[in-house]
Amino acid sequence: MIFCISLSVQSGSSSWPKKWHLADERFATFGCWTDPFQGETVENKPLPPHPGLEGVDLDNLKHKCPAFATGCPYAKIEEADSLAVSFGELSKCPAFKAGCPFTNKSKEEITALLASVPKEHPSLNMNEIPTCEEGIQLVGFLNQFLTASQLDHVFLENDSEPAVPSPVLEDPQLASAMREGTKVIHRAAESSVFTRRFLKGDISREEYGRYILSLYFVYQKMEELLRKHKDHPVVKLIHFPEELDREDTLVSDLQYFYGKDLAAAVMTDPASKTPAVQRYLDAMDKACDVNPALLIAHSYSRYLGDLSGGQILAKRLKKCILQLQEGDASWDTKEGLAFYHFEALGNQAEFKDYYRHQLNGAKVDAETRDLIVQEAVVSFELNIGLFDEIQSLSEANQLIPMKRRRQPRHTPQADNGFGLTCYIMATTLAISAATIGYHAYKRFYKSSN
């Protein structure tokens, strides 16, 4: 069974060495490989015509592709005829008696076939196996659900020498590496239309409500993953749940703006996880699958951003959303702004310095450090995606209507129950209108997607 798939992996899997990239194109053109060079070198024999290579500047190719630096790497292979595999040989494999067992199979059926490969099945030398057009089509399907590491496990490819682990960096300087590595994307995030409007204090309550709803899902996932990997040697260095966790504060703010009933509805409605939100959640899961250490990139970009620029945004919110002015008795209110208050943190500047110190103490090798920096860039890109999506939803009038800010409550006079009755009626109508608007939003949003 392994044979058929191995034909395809060389041409379809991105995990193979770069030297195969031109061979893939050639194999795809010729089908199963035969011996076009007859064992002679390019120097001894001119390159014969090759379908699919018309117009290719072979001299220029030598300079661009290391594999062709000294000529065609396949021209010097001895006994090339031995590499051409007869399809008749496949009949010796029980799995291929009735033809290719993978043809016209579903993902589930192929998975079951792979699982049935016996452990004693001989391993193959992947570098000596040809490919074919059918194999290319198969690998395109396999790559939808098999990772490179899973393919390596299936094909039992043996290296001539065991891999030597990379040395751990004595001073990785992760904090400064992420700061430098994200400078450009950080500026791009600050330049998004929604961010510029936010900084100007020019956003609506509905836009801000959508913003913190998106953040609720992001922090819920991120903090769930931080708890899951809290004992990882890198993750545990920056895991400060008591000081930093934001999920509960976002629940509090959502209840303030939407009301408890509507907040509970939007937080549990799958439709609230918009495409940009879902991409963010999936990206964090994927990062942890690669290496849980990559999670610190998301922690870095979110938490340090909240402790820095988030405080500026809180002031804008007080003016444009809560309609407060500096000097007002209620200016220091935390209602609706719990997300920006880190009650258990103490001195924020000192904590940020300590957080960066912890990052710099992470025991990682050079490859992991570079992956973490790349993931930090991804995190900023995902946040830009959230901003752009909110802007688009707002322009399309697809945001969830919100209940208005409560007016100061006056104590009714003992001889006048009319004021209290009006207040209760107005509050009830406001909540009902918000609920009706939410359901109308759901229908509109779903129909538009």
Q: What is the pLDDT of residues 356-369, one digit of tens each?
A: 999 999 999 999 99
Q: What does the angle CA 49 – CA 54 – CA 59 come to, to the nearest 5 degrees?
A: 85
Is 69 in a helix, a strand, or coil? strand
Band (64; pLDDT cuts 50, 70, 90): low
pLDDT class of 112 with cuts at 50, 70, 90: confident
CA angle 226, 231, 233 (to 5 degrees): 100
Q: What is the pLDDT of residue 259?
A: 94
> How many CB atoms sit inside 10 A of residue 345's CB?
15
pLDDT in tens, 6-58: 333 333 333 333 333 333 433 333 333 333 334 444 444 454 455 445 566 66
pLDDT in tens, 192-235: 999 999 999 999 999 999 999 999 999 999 999 999 999 999 99
pLDDT at 423: 46
| Per-residue pLDDT tens over the stretch 142-178 | 555 555 555 555 554 444 555 667 888 888 999 999 9
For residue range 282-340, list pLDDT tens digits in order. 999 999 999 999 999 999 999 999 998 877 888 899 999 998 988 888 888 889 999 99
Report the distance separating Cα 106 and Cα 111, nearest Å.
9
CA atoms in the 13 A half-sphere facing the CB of 345: 21
Cα 203 to Cα 208: distance, rounded to the nearest angstrom: 7
Tell me how far apart the alpha carbons of residues 174 and 357 are, in angstroms, rounded to a whole number.
9
How does DSSP classify residue 168?
Answer: B
Whether the per-residue pLDDT at 401 is higher than 90: the answer is: no
Report which of residues 143 and 255 the model is more confident about: 255
